[in-house]
Amino acid sequence: MPKVTTLGQFIIEKQADFPYAKGELSRLLRDIAIAAKIVNREVNKAGLMDILGQAGSTNIQGESQQKLDIFANEQFISALTSGGECCIVASEENEDIIIIDPKDRKAGKYVVAIDPLDGSSNIDVNVPVGTIFSIYRRKDFDTPPGLCDVLQKGTEQVAAGYIIYGSSTMLVYTTGRGVNGFTLDPSIGEFCLSHPGMRVPEDGTIYSINEGYYMHFPKGVKQYIKYCQEEDRATKRPYTSRYIGSMVADIHRNLIKGGIFIYPYTAATPSGKLRLVYECNPMAFIIEQAGGRATNGDKRILTIEVEELHQRTPVFIGSKNMVIHAEEFMKEAI
């Protein structure tokens, strides 16, 4: 029988890479994985909503149904607040940070930012959705935990990951030593190491962008799209256009196959749509760790100053050479 490494075993083995670690980060990752399994169970049942009851109504057991994004938010917050390793949770679903024990200076040393169910508008049509998480160490242990502990640059992340609820459910994460992917085996209820040492190809032939907004894109992006569509055998163009509209799924595919994902600024969204803290920083950390590149079209995402919790940023992320090339179009178009 082939040797199966579960996420739990892998995390324990990898703890040896951090000689001073006391196991808190490992426990935190395991708490996230448990909440992910619970969310996965509900996401899988989403198509049965019409039979079991609509969100907001009462199901046949008399329990009230919740919208899945609210359910996911509650599951992750509850796993993170009860674990004891974390002092602050910042969720894309909540306007403010959740400080677990505001007066406790010895409170858990980690801060977690989470997008509990990204792309949740896709659930009704059975398209993959995801969870994105980002973990920081508390900045200042002399003062009670607060917003400054969350507003750290992406370079300060100690770990980041995502869960994709797709044709199979996967958890992909990094602690800054490469990227590993685990597939949920529903028969044993365990995430099993299936994609060790993930690397994003340096070149690719897939571009992912919502072309419906073409008219509103900056000139550099318009010209890059035209470049992707031109015929040229040497560079394997025209490239393939793939856009799911679910960031985790689009970036996961490009991580495996090679490609670029772009969500630029537009006239209507001058800072782009996607959030720096919950979406772009964790995805940038993962992609860089896999050998790829992530910028706002000019500057490395991970070095952007974080001034606001729900700050947005344009993002160009994926295969290194594709991102560099798209940046060149941006510069030339100024």
From the list Mg ion, ligand AHM, none, pick the one residue 245 interacts with, judged by a Cβ distance below 5 to 8 Å according to partner type.
Answer: ligand AHM
Asked whether position 154 contacts ligand AHM by CB under 6 A, the answer is: no
- The number of CA neighbours under 13 Å toward the Cβ of 305 is 1
The verdict on 31 binding Mg ion (CB under 5 A) reads no
| Complex with ligand AHM: residue 254 or 289, whichever CB lies closer | 254
Q: Is 121 marked as binding a ligand?
A: yes
Does 73 contact ligand AHM by CB under 6 A? Answer: no
Instruction: Return the residues of window 186-215 that contact ligand AHM according to CB under 6 A.
Output: 210
254 makes contact with ligand AHM (CB under 6 A)? no
Confirm whether residue 57 is marked as ligand binding. no
> Which of 249, 284, 241, 243 shows the shortest CA–CA distance to 168?
249
Cα–Cα distance measured from residue 8 to residue 222, given in angstroms and rounded to the nearest whole number: 45
Q: Which residues touch 49 (CB under 8 Å, ≥6 apart)? A: 55, 65
Q: Any binding-site annotation on 254?
A: no
Q: What is the SS3 string spanning 50-113? A: HHHCCCCCECCCCCECCCHHHHHHHHHHHHHHHHCCEEEEEECCCCCCEECCCCCCCCCCEEEE
Give the one residue of 83, 108, 116, 119 binding ligand AHM; rule: CB under 6 A.
119
* Closest by CA position to 323, among listed 332, 312, 315, 311: 315
Q: Does 83 bind ligand AHM (CB under 6 A)?
A: no
Is 118 annotated to bind a ligand? Reply is: yes
**Using CB under 6 A, which of 30, 253, 273, 320 touches ligand AHM?**
273
DSSP class of 49: H
279 carries a ligand binding annotation? yes
Distance CA 265, CA 121 (A): 21
Residue 266 touching ligand AHM (CB under 6 A): no
Is 26 marked as binding a ligand? no
Distances (CA, A) of 245 to 22, 120, 249: 39, 10, 8
Burial (CB < 10 A; 0-12, 13-18, 19+), residue 286, is buried
The answer to the question of whether 120 is labelled as a binding residue is yes
Binding of ligand AHM by 247 (CB under 6 A): yes
Q: Please state whether beta strands 206-208 and 240-241 pair in parallel, antiparallel, or not at all (unpaired).
A: parallel
Interaction between residue 145 and ligand AHM (CB under 6 A):
no
Query: Which of 69, 115, 149, 250 lies at the binding interface for Mg ion (CB under 5 A)?
Result: 115
For residue 206, with 0-12 CB atoms within 10 Å meaning exposed, 13-18 middle and 19 or more buried, which class applies?
buried
Q: Which stretch binds ligand AHM (CB under 6 A): 116-124, 169-177, 179-187, 302-310?
A: 116-124
Between CA 7 and CA 73 the distance in angstroms is: 22
Number of residues that bind ligand AHM (CB under 6 A): 8
Residue 119, both tokens: 């792309």
Q: Is 185 annotated as a binding residue?
A: no
User: What is the rounded CA–CA span in Å between residue 307 and residue 152?
Assistant: 9
Binding partner of residue 83 among ligand AHM, Mg ion, none, CB under 5 to 8 Å per kind? none
Q: Is 245 in the site for ligand AHM (CB under 6 A)?
A: yes
Measured between its terminal Cα atoms, the distance across the chain in Å is 59
CB-nearer residue toward Mg ion: 119 or 201? 119
Confirm or deny that 115 is annotated as ligand binding: yes
Nearer to ligand AHM by C-beta: 62 or 212?
212
Annotated binding site for Mg(2+): 92, 115, 117-118, 279
Annotated binding site: 92, 115, 117-121, 210, 243, 273, 279
Tell me which residues touch Mg ion (CB under 5 A). 115, 118
Annotated binding site for substrate: 118-121, 210, 243, 273
